[in-house]
Amino acid sequence: MALKKLVAGNWKMHGLSSDLAEIQAIADASRQYPQVDVALCVPAIMIERAARTVPGFPIGGQDVHYSEKGAHTGCTSAQMLLDAGAVLTIVGHSERRDSQRETDAEVKAKAEAALSCGLSVILCVGESLEVREQGKAVETAIAQLDASLPETMEGEGELAVAYEPIWAIGTGKVPTTSEIAEIHGAIRRCLLERYGAGGEQVRILYGGSVKPSNAAEIFSVEDVDGALVGGASLKTADFIPIVEAAAGIS
Ligand code: PGA
């Protein structure tokens, strides 16, 4: 059974007040495609302004702390994200796993904290180029997933997994459709093992250099239930054609 596709933008460290008009334009345009779920994950400091600008359009964070509150300078809790107007958050993005040295156990705790508060979660996994060249992409991504997945899917939030090969992020390089199919199939099996039939409902997104020119081909791959889009989510003119491709229009 095909799941409704989710196309989520990851704005990373981009976004000032002057960009709220772009968020408005993306939200307005995406309303023409109700057959696709569309969301934008913006910097934490921008969530409240973005959510006020586009009521009803899903705005998310890019990270969350696993504690409810406490002495964690510079961090943001799940309750704070919700309070600011977010309805989802990314966890375990490779840029954080690398630069902030986030471990699988921390990513799992973050996902559990967010889901239990009612935030939906996009949990990222993916291998480095070195690992891919060693022929260990599948086992590495699955080991990472197995150790990062929440124990249960309890909570109001919905879980999605994003497969993001590190070597494809921001580089213009994209795995072949058969490479994507191989990993997404393995992720699906891992989800079924963990959650039983509930694992069928977890959307598996592909992320890494998704563009208007390659989106339709990527969305045609089995078990690709959407995309996590970085650079091409910053401008309506790039992002909406990807949403259109998810809707099966282009
Ligand atoms: P990209 O980033 O689309 O710019 O490659 C994707 C991501 O890191 O989520």
**Local confidence band at 156 (pLDDT 50, 70, 90 cut-offs):** confident
| Cα 70 to ligand 1 centroid, rounded to whole Å | 31
Task: Return the residue whose CA atom lies nearest to atom 2 of ligand 1.
Answer: 230
Give per-residue burial for 228-247: e unless 16+ CB within 10 Å, then b: bbbbbbbebebbbbbbbbbb
Kindly state the average pLDDT of the residues 169-198.
96
> If you average pLDDT over residues 152-167, what whole number do you get?
91
pLDDT value at residue 249? 84
pLDDT of residue 14: 98
Distance CA 46, CA 205 (A): 24
**Which of 40, 169, 173, 234 for mutating ligand 1's site (highest number of atoms within 8 Å of CB)?**
169
Coil vs helix vs strand at 104? helix
Mean pLDDT of the chain: 96
- For residue 232, the ligand 1 atom closest to its alpha carbon is 3
Work out which ligand 1 atom sits closest to the CA atom of 124: 9
41 has a pLDDT exceeding 80: yes
CA distance 140 to 126: 8
pTM over 0.95: yes
User: Which residue out of 63, 122, 167, 209 has the highest number of ligand 1 atoms within 8 Å of its CB and is therefore the one to mutate?
Assistant: 209
Of ligand 1's listed atoms, the one at least distance from the Cα of 208 is 5
Q: How confident is the model at residue 250 (pLDDT cuts 50, 70, 90)?
A: low
Tens digit of pLDDT for each residue in 198-211?
999 999 999 999 99
Q: What average pLDDT score do residues 66-92 get?
A: 98
Ligand 1 pocket check: which of 10, 11, 40, 93 to mutate, most ligand atoms within 8 Å of Cβ?
A: 10
For the chain, give the percent of residues with pLDDT over 70.
99
Nearest alpha carbon to residue 7 among 22, 26, 24, 20: 26
Residue 48 is among the residues annotated as catalytic for this protein: no
Q: Which one from 102, 164, 184, 244 is the annotated catalytic residue?
A: 164
| Residue 164 designated active-site | yes
